[in-house]
Every structure is written in C-alpha cells, then in structure tokens.
Structure 1
Amino acid sequence: MPAIPNSNINVAKLVRNLIVSVVALVLIASFWPFRTVPTGSRGVLTQFGAIKKIEPEGLVVVPPWQKLALFSIRAEEAQIDEADGSTSDTQPVKVSLTVRYSIQTDRVSEVYEKYSHNGDLSSYVQTATQEVFKAVTARYSAPDLIAKRSQVSIDINQALKEKLNMYGAQVINIDMRNFSFSDTYMHAINEKVTQEQLRLAAENKVRTVEAEQRAKVVTAQADADALKAQADGEAYATVTAANAQAEALKAQSDALAKSKDVLELRRIEVEKIKAEKWNGELPQHIYAGAPIPFLQVDGNK
C-alpha cells in the first residue's frame, strides 16, 4: 500500500481537534451554569416547567436541569385609544388614556404562572381600563364630568388600582387626553357657554352703570355736605364776631361808667381840698361856670 503523506495526517488531526473544540464550546455554552439577571428584572428559575425560585438582580447559578427566564418589573405603558362610556344622563363620551404600571415584585411568580412570562400585561390593562372608565362615567352627568374632571381622574385611578391588583400589577399614573362628547352635545355646550358669557357681560354692564350712579350720588352728597359745612362755618363766624363785638361794647361801657365814677370822685376830692384851703373871701371875679365855694352859714348868728 502506498504510504499516506504526513501532511494529510496533520490536516486530519487539525480538523478533528477543531471539531472537538467547537463541540466542547457548544456543550459548555449550553450547560454554562453562570447567568446574569439585569437591573429592573427578576429571574424565574424553573425545573421541568415548574417554578422553583425567583432570583433577584445579579449573578445566578443555573444547574443544567433548570432554566432561567427573565421577567421585567420595570414600568410599562398601555395605550387605550378612544375608550367609550356613557354618562348618567345618557350622553356618550370618549377618552384616550395612557396607563403606566409595573408588576408587584412579591407577586412575580403568580403573574408568571397565570398571566405573562415577561411582565407584559398591556392587554389586561387595556381591558380593565375600558371597564373602569364605563363604570366611573356612569356615575356622573355630562356637565359634572366636565366640571369635575380632576375628581373623575381620581376615581378612575382608584378603581383601576383595585382592578389591576387582581393581576399582580400596580398603577403608577394615568394620563387622560382627548376627552370628548358627541358633536351635537359639544355644540349645545358651546352655545350655552356663549349665552352665559353674554349674560355675564350684561350683568357686568349693569353693575358698572350702578357703580357710576352710586359714585355720582356720593359726589353730590359730598358737595352738599361741603356747602352745608361752609354755610355753618360762615354762620358760626358771624355769630362769634357779633358776640365778640357785643362783649367789646359792654366792656367799653363798663369802662366808661367806671371812668365817670373815678372822675367824679377826683373832682369831689379836689373841691374838698379847695374848701379846706378857702380863707373866707369871695372871689372878686366869677366866670361863668366857675364853682362857688361852699359857705357854711351858722343859723344862730
């Protein structure tokens, strides 16, 4: 037999070694026990289809006879476009909502087993939101649904929390948008708003006219009070001046009266002094109006 070249033998060994290496790598990769659970997830460890353990974030050792499934506990969104309902006064109403939710971490095993293998409950959330919206809007009349929109949102939020709790989920928040009624009802509302605005404008105009009239009355009253005060002041000034003049005249009269008495007394004193100094001789010349000394005549002589 012809000898096989050594080069062919080396190539065959190389190929065989390469195949063995690839198979070994595949087997190692398939049965590699070390796995990682990323942030925002939980690891559901199953054995022959049965849940054995829920692993937290981080490194996990998985035996070859078990499997690890990643389950998201991050916040998820469910879009509900044009959820429809009816008010207590039978007005149809529609709204679009965005519901943000997440899986309760202590109920991952229950949700995985019953509802979802990855944490996506959007279909359940959409159905529950539709039911809740119908139930809440039926408790409000159409005007109240508009006027109490914030309370309606609170009611929907509370009812949806209770509903989603059945599925192991928790509501983070709800956004309501495109809240609308039928075209006919919206036209009626706009007409009512227009009429109300016209009524308020008329009332404001009446109040303005009344305020202007009151201002005029107040101004006229103030002017009248000012004129009366001026007249009272002038009258008081006249009376005061008259009283002062009368007092002055009385004082002058009293002063004159007192002056006459003083002058008379002084005249008597002077006459007395003259009488005391008289030597008994009559004046030879008597002028008209000149006083004549008093003569005391003794009757016995």
Structure 2
Amino acid sequence: MRGIPVKIVAVLAVLVLLFALAPFGTVPAGHRGVITTFGSPSNEVLSEGIHFRVPLAQRLNLVNVSIQKGEGEGDAASRDLQTVHTRVALNYHIKPESAVSVFRDLGNEPGERIIIPAVQEAVKAVTARFTAEELIAKRTDVRDQIITQLRERLARHGVVVDEFSIVNFNFSRSFNDAIEAKTTAEQLKLKAERDLQRIEVEAKQRVAQARAEAESLAVQRQQVTPELIRLREMENQRMAIEKWDGKLPNVSGGSIPFVNVK
C-alpha cells in the first residue's frame, strides 16, 4: 500500500518534468515554425500542427504568414516643390517558404526592418514625379507606381504586397486656397459660358419668331385686294344694321340729323 503513493508521485513528477521541458510545439493557423538549436535556425519550415523538439536544446519560433495591415504617414515633396503630407495603408503577407529567411535576416520583424523604409522611399520617389495638382488628378497612376516599386523591393525579402491604398493627400494651406480659388473661377467660367449659350439660343428663337411673323404679314398683305376691302366694309355695315334697334338717337337743342325717315 505504501508503494502506490510513491508510484503516483513519480508519475506526477515525470508529467511535470515533461510539461516543463515541453518536447512538443504547436504551430497555429496562419503561421509557420522555425526550429532553432542553441539559437541557430534550421532550414526547414514547419507547417501548421504539432512538432517535436529537443527539450532545452531546441526552440520553436513562429513566423506570421497571414495577411497583415500596416498604416503610416509622412511628408514628401511634389515635382513643383509643394509639401505633401501622405497617409497610406498596406496589406501584405510573408511567403510561407520564406519564413526561415525572414526570421534569420529580418529578425522576424519585417515591418520595422524593411516594410516601413520601403514604403517611405517609394512614396517619396513617386510623389516627386508629379505636380501637386497631378497627384490629385492622377491618384490612381500614383498608387500603381508606388505598388510597382514596393513589390519589386519587398519580393527580394519574401514579402508579398497584397494591396496598397493612398488614404489621403494633404497640402499646405496656401495651396489649398489656390486650388479652391481656381475651382471657383472655373465654375464661374462654365456658368458664364452656359449663360452665353442660353442667350444666343434665345436670340435665335426671337429672330426666327420675328421672321415668321414678318413673313405672315407679307402673305396677308399680298392677299388684301380692293374687292376684299369692299367685302369687309359691307360686312361691317350689315353687322351695324343688325345691331340697330330702329330708334333714332335723341338729340336736344339741335335738328334731327335724318330727314324723311318713316
């Protein structure tokens, strides 16, 4: 009976020792593992799952290979020497097969070691190719050129650029005021041009209307003949007779204007 507790204690001691030494390591989803033996990394990339390691001598290091997002901002100069404050966003991931080189060469810190400097350099280099107004009007071209530079540089270090976005461009107050004034002037110019076109159209309409009326009057004058005039006079007399009630007008202090009327 006394041997049973000793065995239980021994088993527990072994379990505690195994747990402390941790001969197995786990690589979670979205990561790759790199085994180091007394600090020296092996060339094998461990996939997701459970892996054996030599206790005390080896260590399992994780490298994130899932898509990550980084944001940053900085100042640059345009081709016309305008100060441009740019805010950008980058989505990237580590190529799984490059996990060992990223761990060994970049200290498992690709963001600090290579990505941030690469983004800053690419943004400044591309911004210098465009004027401040072109940066606004050709924003898509600016983004595409930055992506091209980033992909070429980061691919050498096992980093893949998934997406790059220019969140915002900010310029100096004086430049913003100049752009606003220019935009207002262009809008006023367009309004004046539209008003002029409207006035020209209305003038042409009035001319066309006047021409039509003149032609109509000319046609009417051509149709007026002496016979037509006499016919109109006879119609007016007939209408006057039809409206007369047969009574003579009362005139006081004077003679009757009609004689021998029964």
Question: TM-score, normalized by length of structure 2?
Answer: 0.73
Using a 3 Å threshold, how does the CA distance of structure 1 residues 231 and 194 change in structure 2: closer, same or farther?
same
1:62 to 2:58 alignment: no
Alignment counterpart, residue 86 of structure 2, candidates 90, 95, 98: 95
> 8 Å contact 2:115–2:154 — kept in the other structure?
yes
**Distance (whole Å) between structure 2 residues aligned to residue 230 and residue 103 of structure 1:** 92
Which residue of structure 2 aligns with residue 289 of structure 1? Answer: none
> 8 Å contact 2:45–2:97 — kept in the other structure?
no
Which residue of structure 2 aligns with residue 85 of structure 1? Answer: 76
Cα deviation, 1:153-185, whole Å, max 9, x if unaligned, reads 111121121222232211111222231111111
* Number of corresponding residues: 222
Which residue of structure 1 aligns with residue 133 of structure 2? Answer: 143
**Distance (whole Å) between structure 2 residues aligned to residue 224 and residue 44 of structure 1:** 98
Which residue of structure 1 aligns with residue 67 of structure 2? Answer: 75
> 8 Å contact 1:78–1:125 — kept in the other structure?
no
Cα deviation, 1:28-60, whole Å, max 9, x if unaligned, reads 224554433221111112333231411112232
Using a 3 Å threshold, how does the CA distance of structure 1 residues 228 and 88 change in structure 2: closer, same or farther?
same
User: Superposed, which structure 2 residues align to 1:129-208 within 5 Å?
Assistant: 129-208=119-198
**Distance (whole Å) between structure 1 residues aligned to residue 31 and residue 158 of structure 2:** 15
> 8 Å contact 1:62–1:68 — kept in the other structure?
yes
> 8 Å contact 1:79–1:126 — kept in the other structure?
no
**Distance (whole Å) between structure 1 residues aligned to residue 160 and residue 92 of structure 2:** 6
Using a 3 Å threshold, how does the CA distance of structure 1 residues 17 and 229 change in structure 2: closer, same or farther?
farther
Cα deviation, 1:51-99, whole Å, max 9, x if unaligned, reads 1411112232334443321211011122213x11101111110111111
The unaligned stretches of length 5 or more in structure 2 are 224-262
1:53 to 2:44 alignment: yes
Which residue of structure 1 aligns with residue 115 of structure 2? Answer: 125
**Distance (whole Å) between structure 2 residues aligned to residue 143 and residue 133 of structure 1:** 16
Q: 1:175 is matched by which residue type in structure 2?
A: S
User: Superposed, which structure 2 residues align to 1:23-38 within 5 Å?
Assistant: 23-38=13-28
The unaligned stretches of length 5 or more in structure 1 are 1-9, 235-301
Of the two structures, which has the highest relative contact order with CA contacts closer than 8 Å and spacing of 6 or more? Answer: 2
RMSD over aligned Cα atoms: 2.9
SS at match of 1:167: coil
**Distance (whole Å) between structure 2 residues aligned to residue 52 and residue 90 of structure 1:** 48
Which residue of structure 1 aligns with residue 99 of structure 2? Answer: 108
